[in-house]
Amino acid sequence: MPPPRKLEACPRVALALGGGAFHGAAHVGVLKALEESNIPIDLIVGTSAGSLVGALYCDNPDIEKLIPLVIETTSSTVFDFSLIRSKVGFVSGKKLQNFISEHCTAVNIEDTKIPFVAVVTDLREGKTLPLAAGPIAASVNASCAVPMIFEPVEMYGMTLVDGGILDNVPADICRSYKAEIVIAIDIMADLNVTESVDNFLRVGYKSLLLALGENQKARLAFADIVIAPDLRDMPILSGKENQQIFDSGYAAAKKVIPEIKKLLQAKGISAG
110 close to 133: Cβ distance less than 8 angstroms: yes
**Number of C-beta neighbours around residue 154 at 10 A:** 11
106 close to 82: Cβ distance less than 8 angstroms: no
> Residue 108 above 80 pLDDT?
yes
End-to-end Cα, the chain, rounded Å? 37
- β-strands 43-47, 116-122: how paired? parallel
180 close to 187: Cβ distance less than 8 angstroms: no
State the pTM of this model.
Answer: 0.91
For the chain, list the strands marked E by DSSP. Answer: 13-17, 43-47, 116-122, 127-131, 153-155, 158-162, 181-185, 225-227
**Number of C-beta neighbours around residue 203 at 10 A:** 13
Note the pLDDT of residue 138: 97
How far apart (Å, rounded) are the C-alpha atoms in residues 223 and 168? 13
* pLDDT class of 216 with cuts at 50, 70, 90: confident
172 close to 166: Cβ distance less than 8 angstroms: no
How far apart (Å, rounded) are the C-alpha atoms in residues 131 and 253? 27
- pLDDT, tens only, 156-191: 999 999 999 999 999 999 999 999 999 999 998 766
167 close to 119: Cβ distance less than 8 angstroms: yes
Pick from 29-43, 57-71, 82-96, 252-266: least confident: 82-96
Contacts for 190 with CB less than 8 Å, ≥ 6 apart: 230, 231, 232
φ, ψ of residue 163 to 5 degrees: the values are -65, -20
> Residue 102 above 80 pLDDT?
yes
Q: What is the dihedral of CA 136, 137, 140, 146, to 10 degrees?
A: -160
- pLDDT, tens only, 39-50: 999 999 999 999
Query: Residue 15: beta bridge partners?
Result: 44, 183
pLDDT, mean over the chain: 89
Looking at the annotation, which residues are catalytic? 48, 162
Mean pLDDT of 234-248: 84
How far apart (Å, rounded) are the C-alpha atoms in residues 112 and 109? 6
Length of the chain equals 272
